[in-house]
Structure 1
Amino acid sequence: MIDYQSLIDQVDEWIINRDKTVILIFILITAVLAVGFGMTATDSGTSQFSEGVPAQEAFEDVNDNFEREPFGTGTGTTTLIQRDRNVLTKSAVLAMLRAQHRIQRDTSQNVVSTNSVAQTVATEIDPTATTLSAQIDVVERTPQSGVRTVTRTIVRTQPSVRSRLSDDLNERDPSASATIATITHQVAGTSDDAGTQSGSPLTSLQREATFIVGSTSGDITVFGSGIISGELGGVITDSLIIVVPAAVILIFIFLIIAYRDPIDLIIGLVSLAMTIAWTFGFMGWARIEFTQILIAIPPLLLAVGIDFGIHAINRYREERVTGEDISSSMRTTTDQLLPAFSIVTGTTVLGFAANGVSDLAPVREFGLVAAVGIIFTLLIFGIFLPAFKHLLDRKRVEYSIPSFGTTPIGRAGSVGGQVLGVGVVIARRSPYIFLLVILILTAALGGYGTGVETRFTTDDFLPPEETPGYLEELPEPFAPGEYTVTKTTNYLENTFESSEDDTVTVYVEGSMRQGSTLEILHKTNQDPPDSFVTAERESQPQSILTVIDQYERESASFRRLISAKDQNGNGIPDHDLGIVYDQLFASSYGDQARLYLTDDYTATRLIYSVKAEKSQAAITADTRQLATEIRMESTATGSVVVRKAVSDVIAESAYTSLVIAVLTAAVFLVAIYWLLENRPGLGIANILPVLLTIAGLASTMRYLDIPFNVLTGTTLSVGIGLGIDYSAHFVHRFTEEYRGEVDRFEALSVSVRGTGGALAGSMLTTTSGTGVLILAITPILGQFGLLIALSVLYSFIASIFVLPAALIGWTDIRRQLWIDT
């Protein structure tokens, strides 16, 4: 057992005898850290979550090798979505061509290529029409019947055309209700990836393109990753504009009820504001960008800060109502609460720091910022708030300022005190039966909760297709903007047969000149996995073999070359491949070949179409299996594979950090109670309500179909942090009361009325303040707010009603086995 009282006495001396100096020091630190506010950048994209994932690194290599090189710089694409009664009529074809032409003529758009069904129609009519202006002239001169004849031919003979038309395509009488076109822009340092990049240069390009296209005839929508990126940032901003004022109002109301004194309310609010300022200032100085996952930080700090603040004021009032003077009451308060705050801080920091094992950088940053923020919370509410309270109460007496709410929450005889005492009643009558039921319940909830799904999609961060009516009624500046991305993505998925998410890529590295290389690639088409789209029991990937086959049908000389280099007569060249590639790259098919084979012939890609109804897990497993069967260094990648890989990392991070947090917290609690109180068994009792909270939270997520994602994946570690917060306060108060000859049930009753009352006030304030996140526009914030509120509620219930029985069990074991000596 160590003597920590001397250290607390030194802190007491500063708080009581140098309160003004303490306040001044904290104000100066706040001023220094506040400078960091201006250094804090924001990253609202989703690509940050896939950084470092092998599938994403392969995907970036694919983009570097096959998307950038044809233009010598980074590229990005914009999609034009045209809707009409029939997009294959002459007037609709002209509308699309004119929209593309307007974008191309604008030099700010940096257009390097365009591709559409309308262009295919025009070049089929006149192959010499190689520019958009020439193609417009050709279509204008062609009668409607001529356009109709050409469209009928191309939709029957060209699969690439059909893939750009809606599912309701009628090939006999050519008609379709929608089509898509692609604009490729030259954007330095940018390429389309599996996520969306915050602040993408494409955002401004595509917003400008929307204005340009808006002046053309026809229903044409501009869409792309830049539009998505813009809405990602906008929806988070609008959500916070709605949620933060609502949370502040609710927290303010409940703090008024909890404190019942304007001066105490000011002390609490100033301390909360200082905690937020310190933490975000630290982020700025540490150059940590504010991301979606860090939205979790303010609710966490508010939860712990509100809890610390109410505990400090409530414990101080317990002493004051007995007639103790200001300094004596504050000394007693800090003597009891500083050890409790330190225990809570230690275990909470361990819980959040456990996220440091994650392979995702944003999750590691979350753990770091949360841990630092909790340490700041300890310093501010453990030292600054008592000093501030001590100074103001002295001034209140000096200037005869009246006090208002001076009684503690949950005092004996109050309704709250009676409700909080239910756990003590259970502990008195049948603690072991109750604990057995709790253990069985925890195991059952934990087992059910292991079925929580894991998902990572951009859609998680986007608003619903239809904005709830109550949000549309909000006045300015709270009224949300108009969001279209979700509606557009749903339309694309429901209207067109394939999209980027309906393809996967296998990235193959090695010498492509080896004679067996193309034979190896060809064999991957045979006996394809179940999730792949097939034709005559073979997959039909887009690859360098596709380009070779196309050029072979067009060029007799190339056909003779292929025949000469094909030793087994199956149509696949299997020696002198460098000569084959050289001739292919020198032909008109060279640019197309570079989409699948690098200029140095050391890497290639195969793009497979996959069945839309298959799950992300099934597609990823099949693609990875296919990659392992290729006798070259091969990596499965593509949007579907990257997102599944990130989902796997999220799940692994959530469960790994959970196990580490529970184990380290248990060891810490046993050790700290052994060192401080010589009662190590209290650490085990302390952890029981936390396990119940985590099990209840996980089972709730599964029941409500809330998956683990980049934000909700942190809720288990949050549950540990908040659960230990509540239980540690109660256990430490019990150790203070249960000394000497004091009856254990009386010690429980005093602890429940004192600490339990403060916990109740903290619970009501925090659940209302964080639960208001369900008003957020984006569902992921609503889910997170609900889970945080539930974790606080579950922690409170477990601490008040389960801990008394656990503590009685600990006292019985201690008496019989003498574990604690």
Structure 2
Amino acid sequence: MTLLNSFYCGVADLVIKRPAEILLVMALLFLAALIVIGNLSMESGASIYLSHDDPSMRWYTIYTDKFALEKDVVLYISAPKPLDHALILDLGILKKELLRIPGVEDVQTVSDAILLANQGSIPATNDEIEEAFSRLSKSQQKEIIPDSLHTLGTVVTKGDTQSLLDPIQAVIDEAHLPPGVTIEISGSDAFDQQMMTEMTKQIFVLILGAFTLMFIGLFILFGSVRYRLLPLAFVMVGLVYLFGILGAFRVPINIGAIGGFPILLGLGIDYAVQFQARLNDELRVSSLEDAVRTTICNTGSAVLYAMVATMLGFVVLFITPLPILTGFTLTAIIGILCAYGATLFGFPALAILINYQPKDLPVSGRLDPFEKYNQILSGVAGKVARAPFLILVLVLVIAGIGMVIDNQIPIDTTEDSMVPADMPAKVVMDKVTNLLGSQTPVELVLTGSDLTSLESLQWMERYGVFITSVYPDEIIGYTSIATLVKEYNGGKLPDSLSELDEALSSIPESEKKKYLSEKIIGLMEFQTVSLKAQQMSDLRQVILDNVGWAQPPPGISARTSGMFELNAITLNDIVKFKPLMTNFAFLMILLFLIIAYRHFVSIAPMVPIICVVGWNAVVMWVFSIDYTFITASLGAITIGVSSEYTILMMERYLEERKTTPDLIEAISNSVQKIGASITVSGLVTAFGFSALLLSSFPIISNFGVMTVIAVIFSLIGAIIIMPAILAVLGRIEDHFE
């Protein structure tokens, strides 16, 4: 007896002797988990893109510390007449009310622009207001009033901007404004706040949806057993254990982790169905204690192998530097361990306490629907096993096509792929983008001994003019300390040090610190049109490659940063790590199969697994589904999920082969005995995974589509492709024996 078999036999003895004590311990752990669930926290923003020790994240921290501590809340003001006298006055009053909020540093609207242009007073008539506005530069006019029906403003805040959004909105709601005028707020903090709120909602939507769908699936598909809904109870226990562990260790939940909840629920229900189906079968031929012992000793290890294979597919995601993927991986691995443990100990213990009995068999002469289904599968498997090569050639050709086109599927790491299209902050941000271009500019952090020297300013000007002239379709403008000096020096750079000193001294400190920090760190911003992720990555590289073209003074260096940089970097990481994750997962599963089984047939599951990965790529290509943060890991995740069904099928085949010399008969018998169980398990798992389709986050719903398809493909792989490859390998094995 192997060490593993000894362990499971020991578990069986413990469960049979002390079922009540086991359930009591599980109940106490359940209560403890409920207590620490309150420690759970959500994570969004830049921290889901890169880890804190990544060089790009360190530069991002420098950028935010130096230039983004004061943040802007964008005011998107819709008005029939943006220069209406009454509106100008009301915006002035609104500014005073907003400045009463602690943490609000400044408010800038068209009212302030008119005051500046008219020597500190508001003109008495609309005509005079328009005349004053015309005295502003064209760029200022465009920035403040981008079209005839809208004007933009900003609320400058310091500290925790998200905590100020509700007070700001409350003041806006109470403001007296002319008829037809509305004010909506946007900006990165408004976006993050609403995203956090939506993420919290998604946890409940996805979990409730998963349980509802699994309830339906079990009720319809698992009618051959008594207490068909029992697996849901142990999945719920495993889920609470997961939340308890995350809360106890204060592991933050990001959008990737949220996507992992239905995955672990689907896999958890799968394990519970396997245990209950096996116990139900064993009870027809043995006593309850013997059935429990056989179920734990045999199914426990078989499901363990399948679970380990699944986890290996997940574990490879840790090689990426993307927290959104590692968050998914950590949640999924802990979750399926909790679900497996709850089922392994809890289900047989409860079965003993309630004296679980199988459902009565149908009246003699009538086959149970599942028996009919098993017989159909057995017949199909026999036909496939007799002529396997045609099936294998067909499925492998389709898989090969998928492998080839996989690298041509676009990757999208932008916010459009992540958040609901109707999220208010995103809707407003899209409106602002349509008016002014992308609200995610390229931030170029500059370092040097003196960025206010004439040579440094002249280089910034040369570089900015060059980039905007060479790439006019992507870059629509730039700003820096050089453009600020020009603005306060009559529209041109100073010719002498005295002029430069005068211009610098005339710039308000609040304006200067947007682009300069103690003369040694500066910021250049390149405003762009709305770009796709790949365009962002390409433009970032172009900007960095051309820094030296304008011949910067000695000692000046430049590094891109900001959200634009994070989008570009994460795209590059996905391009780099996506094939590595898939290939590494293939290797891990192959090594596991060889080490665990030490049998020639152990490589059989690799064929359907390869097919499923290739088929997924074909589906994504045909239906124009882009890769995102989460679906970039689809290859590795699919390998982990699909390996379970193929391994369970192989396990049953190896059992049958010991007692059935005929190869075709052994394959047919294995499919007949486990086919319905695997189908029910897979479909219920697909029901759980399909809860992802309920998500309003595109990144999660698209992932849901592909995981459901992957499960269905995995069932096809286990029921159709496995008999074919087992027939081929079995014949080779028989030949050499």
TM surpasses 0.5: yes
From 76, 97, 104, the equivalent of 1:81 is 76
State the Cα distance separating 1:165 from its structure 2 match: 2.0
State the Cα distance separating 1:516 from its structure 2 match: 4.7
Is the aligned partner of 1:416 residue 2:335?
no
Superposition pairs of residues 208-223 of structure 1, within 5 angstroms = 208-213=170-175, 218-223=181-186
Please say if residues 74 and 185 of structure 2, whose CA atoms lie closer than 8 Å, have aligned partners that are also in contact: yes
From 379, 397, 413, the equivalent of 1:440 is 397
Please give the alpha-carbon distance, in whole angstroms, between the structure 2 residues aligned to 1:725 and 1:211. 55
Cα shift readout 1:34-66 (whole Å, capped 9, x = no counterpart): 433122222355643244454454343233223
State the Cα distance separating 1:760 from its structure 2 match: 1.0
Structure 2 SS opposite 1:393: coil
Which is worse superposed, 741-750 or 207-216? 207-216
2:38 counterpart residue number:
38
Structure 1 SS opposite 2:443: strand
Say what the alpha-carbon RMSD is for the aligned residues: 3.2
Please give the alpha-carbon distance, in whole angstroms, between the structure 2 residues aligned to 1:415 and 1:76. 66
2:487 counterpart residue number:
550
Cα shift readout 1:327-373 (whole Å, capped 9, x = no counterpart): 22233323321221121122122111111112123422332232222
Is the aligned partner of 1:755 residue 2:712?
no
State the Cα distance separating 1:239 from its structure 2 match: 4.3
2:344 counterpart residue number:
382
From 425, 429, 436, the equivalent of 1:485 is 425
State the Cα distance separating 1:241 from its structure 2 match: 4.8
| % same residue | 19
Which is worse superposed, 442-451 or 514-523? 514-523
Q: Which runs of 5+ in 2 are unaligned?
A: none
Structure 2 SS opposite 1:709: coil
Please say if residues 355 and 363 of structure 1, whose CA atoms lie closer than 8 Å, have aligned partners that are also in contact: yes
Cα shift readout 1:383-424 (whole Å, capped 9, x = no counterpart): 332232233226x6xxxxx945799x9979843124423651
Please give the alpha-carbon distance, in whole angstroms, between the structure 2 residues aligned to 1:414 and 1:101. 77
From 559, 563, 567, the equivalent of 1:639 is 563
2:325 counterpart residue number:
363
State the Cα distance separating 1:505 from its structure 2 match: 2.1
1:99 counterpart residue number:
94
Please give the alpha-carbon distance, in whole angstroms, between the structure 2 residues aligned to 1:161 and 1:520. 27
From 227, 247, 258, the equivalent of 1:295 is 258
Write the letter of the residue equivalent to 1:623: I
Please say if residues 219 and 229 of structure 2, whose CA atoms lie closer than 8 Å, have aligned partners that are also in contact: no
Please give the alpha-carbon distance, in whole angstroms, between the structure 2 residues aligned to 1:240 and 1:376. 18
State the Cα distance separating 1:800 from its structure 2 match: 0.7
Which is worse superposed, 627-636 or 440-449? 627-636
CA distance 1:227–1:210, shift in 2 (3 Å): farther
1:279 counterpart residue number:
242
Please give the alpha-carbon distance, in whole angstroms, between the structure 2 residues aligned to 1:328 and 1:769. 32
Write the letter of the residue equivalent to 2:374: G
State the Cα distance separating 1:805 from its structure 2 match: 0.6
From 456, 460, 464, the equivalent of 2:417 is 460
State the Cα distance separating 1:86 from its structure 2 match: 2.6
State the Cα distance separating 1:216 from its structure 2 match: 6.5
State the Cα distance separating 1:519 from its structure 2 match: 4.5
Please say if residues 455 and 644 of structure 1, whose CA atoms lie closer than 8 Å, have aligned partners that are also in contact: no
Please say if residues 317 and 406 of structure 1, whose CA atoms lie closer than 8 Å, have aligned partners that are also in contact: no
Cα shift readout 1:207-264 (whole Å, capped 9, x = no counterpart): 3343244666532223333432332233334445555444323311221334437863
Which is worse superposed, 628-637 or 720-729? 628-637
Is the aligned partner of 1:664 residue 2:627?
no
From 420, 424, 429, the equivalent of 2:386 is 429
State the Cα distance separating 1:585 from its structure 2 match: 4.2
Structure 1 SS opposite 2:101: helix
2:637 counterpart residue number:
718
Which is worse superposed, 230-239 or 719-728? 230-239
State the Cα distance separating 1:492 from its structure 2 match: 1.9
From 155, 158, 162, the equivalent of 1:183 is 155
Is the aligned partner of 1:66 residue 2:67?
yes
Write the letter of the residue equivalent to 2:131: T
Please say if residues 78 and 206 of structure 1, whose CA atoms lie closer than 8 Å, have aligned partners that are also in contact: no
Structure 2 SS opposite 1:456: coil
1:334 counterpart residue number:
296
Is the aligned partner of 1:706 residue 2:643?
no
Please give the alpha-carbon distance, in whole angstroms, between the structure 1 residues aligned to 2:537 and 2:707. 28
CA distance 1:245–1:660, shift in 2 (3 Å): same
Which is worse superposed, 664-673 or 208-217? 208-217
Write the letter of the residue equivalent to 1:33: A
2:214 counterpart residue number:
251
Aligned residues: 726
CA distance 1:186–1:663, shift in 2 (3 Å): same
1:777 counterpart residue number:
696
Structure 2 SS opposite 1:706: coil
Please say if residues 442 and 561 of structure 2, whose CA atoms lie closer than 8 Å, have aligned partners that are also in contact: yes
State the Cα distance separating 1:324 from its structure 2 match: 2.1
1:568 counterpart residue number:
none
Superposition pairs of residues 460-539 of structure 1, within 5 angstroms = 460-465=417-422, 483-494=423-434, 496-501=435-440, 503-512=441-450, 516-525=455-464, 527-528=466-467, 532-533=471-472
Cα shift readout 1:459-514 (whole Å, capped 9, x = no counterpart): 3343233xxxxxxxxxxxxxxxxx523332232222x133423x312111121267
Is the aligned partner of 1:605 residue 2:523?
yes
Please give the alpha-carbon distance, in whole angstroms, between the structure 2 residues aligned to 1:90 and 1:424. 81
State the Cα distance separating 1:793 from its structure 2 match: 1.0
State the Cα distance separating 1:722 from its structure 2 match: 1.3
Please give the alpha-carbon distance, in whole angstroms, between the structure 1 residues aligned to 2:472 and 2:450. 26
From 106, 110, 114, the equivalent of 1:121 is 114
1:618 counterpart residue number:
538
Please give the alpha-carbon distance, in whole angstroms, between the structure 1 residues aligned to 2:674 and 2:46. 42
State the Cα distance separating 1:641 from its structure 2 match: 2.8
Please give the alpha-carbon distance, in whole angstroms, between the structure 1 residues aligned to 2:266 and 2:287. 30
State the Cα distance separating 1:184 from its structure 2 match: 0.7
Please say if residues 654 and 713 of structure 1, whose CA atoms lie closer than 8 Å, have aligned partners that are also in contact: yes
Please say if residues 15 and 386 of structure 1, whose CA atoms lie closer than 8 Å, have aligned partners that are also in contact: yes
1:195 counterpart residue number:
none
Is the aligned partner of 1:270 residue 2:194?
no
Please give the alpha-carbon distance, in whole angstroms, between the structure 2 residues aligned to 1:410 and 1:563. 97
State the Cα distance separating 1:715 from its structure 2 match: 3.0
Cα shift readout 1:7-54 (whole Å, capped 9, x = no counterpart): 333222223333333333333333333433122222355643244454
Please say if residues 341 and 382 of structure 1, whose CA atoms lie closer than 8 Å, have aligned partners that are also in contact: no
Please give the alpha-carbon distance, in whole angstroms, between the structure 1 residues aligned to 2:463 and 2:309. 52
Superposition pairs of residues 312-323 of structure 1, within 5 angstroms = 312-321=275-284, 323=285
1:476 counterpart residue number:
none
Please say if residues 528 and 539 of structure 1, whose CA atoms lie closer than 8 Å, have aligned partners that are also in contact: no
Structure 2 SS opposite 1:464: coil
1:792 counterpart residue number:
711
